[in-house]
A and B are shown apart, each in its own frame.
Chain A
Amino acid sequence: MSAATDAVIPRILKANESELLDDWLREQLSAFRAGAKISDADLRSQSREFLSLLQQATQGGNVTDIHGPSFGRVRDMLGDVSRSRGLQGFSPSETVAFVFSLKRPLFARIRRELSSDADSLAEVTWSATELLDKLGLYTTEVYQKSREEVIKRQQQELLELSTPVVKLWDGILALPMIGTLDSARTQIVMESLLQRIVETGADVAIIDITGVPTVDTLTAQHLLKTVTAARLMGADCIISGIRPQIAQTIVHLGVDLGAVITKATLADAFRRALEMTGQRDRIPKTRA
């Protein structure tokens, strides 16, 4: 590609700026007429900004080198557009339409400009296609990445939601765990338990695993580490609701729960916690 043809695209972008903008906006509006998720004014200012950034970027020569330094601001802007559309619920094709809908207006201008020179016309059209395709692809990549981030964040939130740390009494927290404990989930849950201990100033935390069907070595170790970490912070933990099978597993795995207070049920653990926090008088006299 010669320098002369490289200069054509920025020149066309500059010379036909307002005309291009109007045509392009028409194209865009027809691409997603159904859901007006973005206002015309916003779209117009977005599009105008993009055209002027594109013109500046292509000015430097290398019109299709979209990963080069001259395209930095174009990439930033496309990234923003793509991310915000992703969050607003635009489909991938609606998002990428921002770039692709520029093809028809731009190609029309190129044809008008170079109608007398077939070779140049083909060459410039080709590089314009390449440019817009690359930018479209880039937009899609960012879109996909931002969706993946949303999914990842939701997974994280789900993990945190699935195990609430509740306050049982003054100075007593409980963490009723339900479902299979893999080591990633245990880690997150334990971190949030320790954080809550600091926030609430609780002296005792009860980790109830009645709803946990099985425990593997790694999970048992995480439980143990949490108890130790809580002690380092100045709080005691009680583990309650250990099923017989889990007790067997723990012993077979050689995990030493020796220093940890364990209770059969959450009620027993609560009673013990009241004693430990000097609230013995709260314990009802009769016991079922």
Chain B
Amino acid sequence: MDRIPILKLRDLLLVSIQVDMHDRLAMQLQDELTAKISETGARGVLIDISSLDIVDSFIGRMIANIAAMARVLDAETVVVGMQPAVAITLVELGLNLPGVRTALNVDKGMALLESATRSVEDLPDADARHTE
């Protein structure tokens, strides 16, 4: 059976969906990804869907679920590379994926995740703030 690999890069998890997903595979990815977030303590999840030529309501819901579950587990999710035709169709379908961060490509997605996950560590400490 097909399996979508999840790569760990420092404190990020990377997923690139390259196959035409059926529903069981989508559910499996959702399960494995949430398990992996809590297992590794990852701070960010990047899902590359540039190879997907459709996203229907089921796959859309899976993406929204992953983002919501990751947030509960204190990780940020960014979905990158959605094709224009796919985006137009999703909007027509009525699925706007509110609460899901997006970026045009992997590069921009990584930058977004880095700034989102670093911001906490970069907070100036209490003393520094006083001297401002």
* A–B contact, 8 Å CB criterion (strictly below): yes
Residues from chain A with a CB closer than 8 A to the CB of B91 are 225, 228-229, 232
Residues from chain B with a CB closer than 8 A to the CB of A57 are none
Chain B interface residue bracket vs A: 10 to 19
A233 adjacent to chain B (CB < 8 Å) = yes
Chain B min CB distance to A224 (Å): 9
Q: Provide the bound-state CA to CA distance between A194 and B104, in Å.
A: 11
Q: Cβ of A234 and Cβ of B88 under 8 Å apart?
A: no
Kindly identify, within residues 62 to 85 of chain B, every residue whose CB is under 8 Å from any CB belonging to chain A: 79-84
Q: A65-90 CB contact bits vs B (8 Å, 1 = yes)?
A: 00000000000000000000000000
Residues from chain A with a CB closer than 8 A to the CB of B108 are 201, 203, 234
Q: Cβ of A194 and Cβ of B102 under 8 Å apart?
A: no
Chain B min CB distance to A170 (Å): 13
Q: Cβ of A233 and Cβ of B109 under 8 Å apart?
A: no
Q: In the complex, which residue of chain A has the Cβ closest to the Cβ of B100?
A: A232
Q: Cβ of B80 and Cβ of A234 under 8 Å apart?
A: yes
State the total of A-B contacts with C-beta under 8 angstroms.
Answer: 55
Q: Cβ of A234 and Cβ of B96 under 8 Å apart?
A: no
Residues from chain B with a CB closer than 8 A to the CB of A237 are none
B4 adjacent to chain A (CB < 8 Å) = no
Residues from chain B with a CB closer than 8 A to the CB of A190 are 88
Q: A189-229 CB contact bits vs B (8 Å, 1 = yes)?
A: 01100110110011100000000000000000000010011
Apart from A197-B84, A234-B102, 17 more pairs, CB < 8 Å = A191-B84, A194-B88, A195-B84, A201-B104, A201-B105, A201-B108, A202-B104, A225-B91, A229-B84, A231-B96, A231-B102, A232-B82, A233-B82, A233-B87, A234-B79, A234-B82, A234-B104
3 closest A-B pairs by beta carbon, nearest first, are A194-B84, A229-B87, A234-B102
Q: Pull 14 A–B residue pairs with CB atoms less than 8 Å apart, ordered by A.
A: A190-B88, A194-B87, A194-B88, A195-B84, A231-B102, A232-B87, A232-B90, A232-B102, A233-B82, A233-B83, A233-B102, A234-B104, A234-B105, A234-B108
